[in-house]
Structure 1
């Protein structure tokens, strides 16, 4: 996976793909929408501070929302019905001549697992039988471009299994052995919205480790989930939206500290509103 350069990106993609930091996006004539993306973006988790020496005029805060899709891990196929959001800082580092990504936070909510703890349809809301799954971030977030010109992203996750009998530390995967997604865009789904970029991201090659921290019921949890599951037995298809705002817009106090870089010839990470809306 190679990096996307800010200079080569189409104007409306610069704000949302600056977090990828990476070379020209050969997406062709991806469809454009005159509307905003069908999700809500929040910048509440954007820190009001930047690395020492950073120029606020060179930094943006990105909000990524997984609004739907499915994940099949072992024998469990889970629909995503509640948004998963991620906040990432991105900025230009003069010393290296590159952008730097700082992963800030992942927010998710528990999702009800079909079939509950025993895998029996209709038992999802029966006391002690209810099973929920919640996505947790482990590390290794990247966003960039493939040699073929598509968009790629990596992220390491673990999935918390929530059930009264499993305790509070039962996960599919662990910090040491996470679920490692290597997502590729379905380029036919890429859409430029007025405020964001949307696409479907897929991975059918990742392996799923067994459970951890489930105590005496760990063996049962693995049998119920069909884990561990080798590559080819798992899949992810995620509807993803990316949006961003310049730090000088988010925090007026930082705007006063921003330096003009017009003399350097570098493209700023934040764009005028006219470019953001594609006008």
Structure 2
């Protein structure tokens, strides 16, 4: 089967675009899929918007991107990024317009990473008596250890299909917050929130290497299969445009928000923060010729996905 030009352009651009944000979220999905479907374990194929994609005017694709590590600068503090897995569905519409669909549980899943210096690094030294007293107790490794986890909040927006095929242009807006965990900070300490998230707008610094292949509906490699998979590897991306809000929920009734904000330089205006994403591994899956099975392309792709479940 031949892949239409519009589908090829859409896949390539979508692929490159999501490589930009891939380095911020981890593969912990319960679903295991066969063959070429394996990376797409959280693709929201059963979302009404994906099922409604007819294959003629609206084309549904699955996107996943993985990175083993990265870093993000927030004010005065550099926070490491754990292994990450970003998965979304995208419905491409005529006129280079697209709708992003998040899977249940959020687009981004990330492993936790240790914050260098722990709580000593986030709050100490300090001349404020209360904080100085806390700092003096932090010789205990468990009390000092702080982990940071980047979490997806809300649905990504502003997906720009063509921006993914070039460099230097924002590709997608990914709203996130950072969960700081420590016995003294409590379990509800965040940088950013659902109502005031960090809005990452990554762009490509380098172009990834591209490979492609077709596969059968159940994921088995098949040069004449009805599904296509593009793989992009080795991309480097960045964003220096985002602002970072202050912390919330740190300590009893938020009593330590100000201490963390003061030491880390939060809130931090746009231009004072940065994210670097290295060696993103990204995959995109779509019907090879969705127009051939219109208006049921979205439904058929969902059936294929489920047939690959191991």
Q: TM-score range by the shorter chain?
A: 0.5 to 0.7
The question of 1:17 aligning with 2:16 is answered no
SS at match of 2:272: coil
SS at match of 2:285: strand
Within 5 Å, which residues of 2 pair with 1:179-258? 179-187=198-206, 189-194=207-212, 195-198=230-233, 199-214=235-250, 215-239=254-278, 240-246=280-286
Within 5 Å, which residues of 2 pair with 1:1-279? 7=5, 11=8, 14-18=10-14, 42-51=39-48, 53-55=52-54, 58-80=59-81, 82-92=82-92, 98-104=97-103, 105-119=107-121, 126-139=141-154, 140-144=156-160, 145-146=162-163, 149-150=166-167, 152-153=170-171, 154-187=173-206, 189-194=207-212, 195-198=230-233, 199-214=235-250, 215-239=254-278, 240-246=280-286, 260=292
User: Do the aligned partners of 1:112 and 1:124 also contact (CA within 8 Å) in 2?
Assistant: no
Q: 1:213 to 1:15 in 2, by over 3 A?
A: same
More strand by share: 1
Provide, for residues 134-179 of structure 1, a one-character-per-residue CA deviation record: whole Å limited to 9, x for no partner: 0011233443244994353321111011111111211011112111
User: Do the aligned partners of 2:65 and 2:283 also contact (CA within 8 Å) in 1?
Assistant: yes
User: Do the aligned partners of 1:16 and 1:243 also contact (CA within 8 Å) in 2?
Assistant: no
> Structure 1-normalised TM-score?
0.67
Partners of 2:47 and 2:119 in 1: CA distance: 44
User: Do the aligned partners of 2:100 and 2:159 also contact (CA within 8 Å) in 1?
Assistant: no
Partners of 2:149 and 2:164 in 1: CA distance: 33
> Structure 2-normalised TM-score?
0.61
Misfit runs of 4+, over 6 Å: none
SS at match of 1:42: helix
Alpha-carbon RMSD across the aligned residues, in angstroms, is: 3.6
Q: 1:56 to 1:87 in 2, by over 3 A?
A: farther
SS at match of 1:168: strand
